Structure formats: structure tokens, C-alpha cells
Amino acid sequence: MKKKKFSFSARERRPLELPESLFGDGPFIELRGRRELCIQGCKKILCCTPNTVCLALREGVLKVEGSDLICLTYFAGAMSIQGYIRCMSFVEAEAMGC
């Protein structure tokens, strides 16, 4: 049985049903297991220690806690953190604890 091929124009008209958050102005945060975290939308690294990383985002401060944390890459607002990630939370700037 042959699969029906869609023309480019038909494929273009089909709804993608992607979440609205993918197109917003907020940060995009992806956790890969407990060992890697990728963040897009970073404005600034507020602190970076082996146990805590705090990042200024457009919508507040993201605090990542764990052990052996390292910032692998940081370029144009995109950042990659590796290490054992215990928790992530949005905190007030005064409660960072770095």
C-alpha cells in the first residue's frame, strides 16, 4: 500500500498544534535527565559555584542547585549547565543565596 504524499502547500496548511510557550518572550528551559540543563533567554549569570547557579532571566531569577555544576556554554542568551541537578526554582533576587 502506497503512502499518500502531501504537497508542500497542503503540509503548510495543516495546523502544527505546538504549545504557545514556544513562541512567547519567556525563557525556554530544557532539562535532560538530571545531568544537563539548557536555557535560552538568559540575561546575565548572577553566580556560578559548584553547588549553585543563579541566572537573571526576562521573567525573574532561576536558581539551579546540585553538585559539581559547571557552565559549559554561554552565548547570546543561551546557556548549558552540566552536573548533578537536585532542583530548579524561580526565586526573588534577594533570596538567591549565592
Tens of each residue's pLDDT in the chain, 98 residues:
566 655 544 455 456 665 555 556 678 899 999 999 999 999 999 999 999 999 999 888 999 999 999 999 999 999 999 999 999 999 876 666 66
Between CA 74 and CA 61 the distance in angstroms is: 16
Residue 78 in domain: yes
Neighbours of 65 (CB within 10 A): 16
Residue 86 in domain: yes
How much is the pLDDT for 5? 57
CATH number of the domain at 85, please: 2.60.40.2000
pTM score: 0.71
Residue 49 in domain: yes
Half-sphere exposure of 79 (CA within 13 A, CB side): 23
Contacts of 48 (CB under 8 A, 6+ apart): 54, 69, 71
